Chain A
Amino acid sequence: MSFTKLIAKNPFRNKARLALAVIGIAIGIATIVALGMVTEGLKASVEEQLMTGGADFVVMKNTTSESASGSYSIKDKRIDEISKINGVKQAAGVYTSSRMVDGNQLGFAGIKSKDLNMLGARMIQGNAYADDKNELILGKLAAEKLKKKVGDTVTFNGNQYVVTGIFEVGNKELDSIGALSLEKLQSMDENEGKVDMIYVKINKGADLKTVSKSVEKAYPGELTTIASLEDFQKADDSLQMVETASMAISLLAIIIGGIGIINTMIMSVFERTREIGVFRAVGWKSRRILAMILGESVVLTLLAGMVGIVLGVVGIEVIINLFETPLDLVFTPALALRALGIAVIVGLIGGLYPAIRASRLPPTEALRYE
């Protein structure tokens, strides 16, 4: 048996204590993994939406600038203006709103029927709606959830709407919404003349950067353009907030887990005082005792890390499914590495004090310990 094997073996001596310590730390790691999967999922979804849409970039209100009025909406006369900017082929205003439909909360995009290509949606059944009729189309997942097919009617806002088609984008979030006439959705919210974003398609051969820059220059401080995930993160700090929260929880998990591990390892060292005296008597250096206790601590937290990863993945999947959240969770190897890295750090930090204590026990005192 090698020294490493001894280290791996020792934490399993007191199984009840091991289980308690592992669960304590695993919960922290699970939270980190779950939040990480949500963040990665959100990022992937934003990226997917940017990629799948027929638009080359999206124009949004610049909320970071000082001149921002605080409102997120854009006057819809900007749509026409932008469509005249050099290099712009098509500009489409989109207004979004969330509504109760037959007892289900559903997201809606208001967009002119002729601009539907900008969403990147493919009609898999039926046809698009007419802008002046009480008609709408549903994403594939939304239709499944509402159990509606082409020709059915849905009631919302006190009016009956006919489902004229079912579309698919290939993105969970977009496939879970419905789309209808821009004017109808605006007036439902009494928000006539306002859109949340403008989808822009550029001419063949035009340069994306040049065109988006000239849009921003035309409305300095008012509008910003988004063509990539980085642009989105600059314009919208919600992802940043989730990441900050995730960092804060990670730190908390390290502190709480660290305290738990200090306690566990001190107990373990205390119980094995005599044994440590024997190790010294047979010639172990205090360094070796230190390494053993630190190693045992890391074995314990690594185990907790692995349990935590499984717990986090399973837990967040269950939660997302339970609340029917339209989000594809993303688990990356980097996330697993981060979780295990945090576990190792907790093990090293938490094990340090007990290990130093064990290594400094005077051999004769340790051997006299009853």
Chain B
Amino acid sequence: MNNGNIVEITNLKKGYDKGKIKALNGIDIQIRKGEFVSIIGPSGSGKSTLLNMIGALDTADDGLITVAGNDLMLKKDLSDFRSKKIGFIFQLHNLIPNLSVLENVIIPMYGNGYKSSHMSKRAMKLLKYVKLEDKAERKPTELSGGERQRVAIARALANNPSIILADEPTGSLDSKNGKMVLERLKELHEKENVTLIMVTHDMNVAAMAERTIEVLDGQVQT
């Protein structure tokens, strides 16, 4: 984490279909700790691929990528890194339908050695933060789209991550619900000094960030 950068990416490359598709074609990005960055770009430009690289969900073919002091090019098991450093928020909430809202928030906490009562208490606190404590026992299907996405925020915060990666978190929401989700995220960034990296199609949403990075054909536009 030299010079205060939590994300350091140099000439990162990722191909699909035996290199026919160059999803990432030499990306260079530095993101400071506590920064709120939005990533924009047309469909298929490589935004999700980039986010997955930062979250260590996938490995790059070439280049350098260091996140929160972890060299992600070393192909070791990175589930601990994901669990402790990263919180993911997807376009679709991806909540588990047969589990209650509370149980969905608990899911990332397994493996930390907490007692189940402690996990419930912590999950309840996070639900309070997204103003859903009264819906803790509901099933995700009984919630509105905006509420579901707020549960996803609570889930992403389960293990106190230093980086939140949000891939079009408001993409499936109307503007009113989208605003509520964004307010939560912004507040998180401002109050907790969480690094927030958000992919979006919406220029107005992107404008909320401190910095906007534009991606085109797997490269950063300058």
Contact = CB atoms under 8 A, between A and B. Distances in A.
Contact of B158 (A3, A282, A362, A367): A282
B107 A279 contact: yes
A13 interface: yes
Contacts, number: 72
B158 A281 contact: no
Given A1-B106, A3-B110, A283 B80 contact: yes
Given A2-B116, A364-B52, A278 B110 contact: no
A282 B58 contact: no
B96 A367 contact: no
Given A1-B106, A281-B82, A363 B58 contact: yes
Most chain B Cβ neighbours within 10 Å, of A9, A278, A280 = A278
A368 to B, nearest CB: 9
Contacts of A6: 99, 103
A282 B98 contact: no
Nearest to B92: A274
A284 B110 contact: yes
Interface of B: 52, 55, 57-58, 77, 79-84, 86, 88, 90, 94, 96, 98-99, 102-103, 106-108, 110-111, 116, 119-120, 155, 158-159
Given A280-B79, A281-B55, 10 more contacts: A1-B99, A3-B110, A9-B98, A9-B99, A278-B96, A283-B82, A284-B79, A284-B83, A286-B77, A364-B52
Nearest to B83: A283
A9 to B, nearest CB: 7
A129 B113 CA distance: 80
Given A2-B116, A363-B57, A278 B111 contact: no
A2 B52 CA distance: 28
A11 to B, nearest CB: 10
Given A10-B98, A274-B94, A275-B96, A282 B108 contact: yes
Contacts of B82: 280-283
B90 A1 contact: no
Interface string A192-223: 00000000000000000000000000000000
Interface in A1-26: 1-3, 5-6, 9-10, 13
Given A2-B116, A275-B96, A278-B94, A283 B58 contact: no
B98 A286 contact: no
Contacts of B102: 1
B103 A364 contact: no
10 contacts: A1-B106, A10-B98, A277-B94, A278-B90, A282-B88, A282-B107, A285-B79, A363-B58, A364-B52, A364-B58
B86 A283 contact: yes
A149 interface: no
A281 B88 CA distance: 7
The 5 closest A-B pairs by CB, nearest first: A283-B83, A282-B108, A283-B82, A2-B116, A285-B79
A43 interface: no
A285 B159 CA distance: 15
A2 B79 CA distance: 20
Nearest to B112: A283
Interface string A246-284: 000000000000000000000000000011011111111
A288 interface: yes
Contacts of B119: 1
A367 B79 CA distance: 15
A177 to B, nearest CB: 59
Contacts of A363: 57-58
Contacts of B107: 278-279, 282
Contacts of A9: 98-99
A350 to B, nearest CB: 22
B154 to A, nearest CB: 12
B122 to A, nearest CB: 13
Contacts of B155: 282
Contacts of A286: 77, 79
Nearest to A281: B88
Nearest to A9: B98
A284 B86 CA distance: 12
A316 B84 CA distance: 56
Contacts of A280: 57, 79, 82
Nearest to A275: B96
Most chain B Cβ neighbours within 10 Å, of A9, A277, A281 = A281
B177 to A, nearest CB: 21
Interface in A89-117: none
A278 B89 CA distance: 10
